[in-house]
Amino acid sequence: MQIIADFVRILELKRYSPQTINSYKGHLNMVSSYFKERPFKSISDKELFEFIYYLVNTKKISASYQRQIVGGLKLFYKEIYNRSIPFEYLKVTQREKKLPPVLSKREVLKIIDNTNNLKHRAILSLIYSAGLRIGELLELRKADIDSERMLIHIKGAKGKKDRHTILSENVLQLLREYYRQYKPKEYLFEGQKGGKYSAESAGQLFKRAVKKAQIKKPVTLHSLRHSFATHLLEQGIGITHIQKLLGHNNIKTTLIYTHIADESIQKIKSPLD
């Protein structure tokens, strides 16, 4: 749809991250499908409210996803039609305080072991071993893997900030084997027809591996990043180091892992003992 393409160009000019652009594009396609491809301009504020209500109460979307959709629609209507949508009443006033699901080290290895395809195994291993967001992994190029310093250069990550994270010795060997077999041209991980590997495909391969590994936890691909941070904390790595590896602007975001890490809890003695 041309109007969505126009909005994407505006976001690109404003230097939004590829992940954010893809998210907003997906949200608009979902709105278009819901309203049977009616012109966006003809959709009333009340109808947009009913759409969000449907997502919250029928589709049971999370509070964070609700915030993303509301923010994306508000920006779209402002940029394309100079129309202010009174979305204040749709904003989530309180953040959910649910802890993210985390895999044990054994479960992570089980998932990777149940991934037979070399490319798929390299993708999952790299995400977990370096604590990457899926968008960061898909933007990687061969030059971003620094085997001399054993670091991975993440460029233009969330917040438009570059950072370095750690490169595993085991994953480096796996990447070399993968590179020899697949010979990617531009991106480190590419689709069958070239170009960037898709986030949807990565999510699907993770689901298949989880099912094959018979893991019942409600985990997603992003759970590998949560697991990376939690396992580092359990190893005794300082929270500020973990913050830098993850690329969090605010340490409060990183501190959530102190509520998850079993090792830190296990060190606390019961008053009865």
pLDDT tens digits, 67-111: 889 999 999 999 999 999 887 755 555 555 567 889 999 999 999
Between 250 and 48, residue with greater pLDDT: 48
156 pLDDT band (50/70/90 cuts)?
A: confident
The reply to whether 222 belongs to the active site is yes
- Residue recorded with tokens 């996803």: 65
E strands along 145-203, which residues?
Answer: 145-146, 151-154, 163-166
Whether residue 132 sits in one domain with residue 251: yes
| Residue 137 Cα distances to 144, 203, 211, 222, angstroms | 10, 13, 23, 12
Query: So what's the pLDDT on residue 234?
Result: 87
15 a catalytic residue: no
Do the domain assignments include residue 98? no
- Shared domain check, 80 and 147: no
Q: Which position among 163, 225, 226, 231 bears the catalytic label? A: 225
Q: Is residue 272 part of a domain?
A: no
Which residues in the chain belong to E strands, given as ranges? 145-146, 151-154, 163-166
Is there a domain that residue 242 lies in?
yes
Check 24, 128, 187, 257 and give the catalytic one: 257
Rounded to 5°, angle at Cα 256 from 252 and 258: 115
pLDDT of residue 109: 96
Residue with tokens 């591996």: 209
In a domain, 95, yes or no: no
Catalytically annotated residue among 158, 196, 208, 212: 158
- For residues 74, 80, 81 and 85, what is the CA-based torsion angle, rounded to 10 degrees? 0
Residue type for 21, please? I
**Are 134 and 163 in a shared domain?**
yes
The pLDDT of residue 248: 87
Verify that 63 and 118 share a domain, yes or no.
Answer: no
In the DSSP assignment, the letter for residue 153 is E
**54 carries an active-site annotation:** no
| 67 among known catalytic residues | no
CA distance 266 to 272: 15
The answer to whether residue 158 is catalytic is yes
Residue ending a domain, among 66, 90, 114, is: 90
Residue 27 bears catalytic tag: no
pLDDT digits (tens, 9 = 90+) for 195-247: 899 999 999 999 999 999 999 999 999 999 999 999 998 888 888 999 999 98
pLDDT digit string, tens, across residues 145-155? 999 999 999 98
**Under 8 Å between Cβ of 73 and 7:** no
Angle at 33 between CA 58 and CA 56, to 5 degrees: 20
Instruction: Give the C-alpha separation, 226 to 19, whole Å.
Output: 18
Tell me how many domains the chain contains.
2
Is 210 domain-assigned?
yes
223 and 160 within one domain: yes
Q: Which residues contact 88 (CB under 8 A, 6 or more apart)?
A: none
Among 90, 119, 150, identify where a domain stops. 90
In CATH, what number is assigned to the domain containing residue 151?
1.10.443.10
Q: Give a yes or no: residue 59 inside a domain.
A: yes
| Residue type at 114 in one-letter notation | N
| Measured distance CA(263)–CA(1) in Å, rounded | 51
Domain interval for residue 73: 2-90
pLDDT over 90 at 5, yes or no: yes
Question: Where a domain ends, among 90, 118, 153?
Answer: 90
Catalytic residue among 133, 163, 226, 231: 133
Output the domain CATH number for residue 21: 1.10.150.130
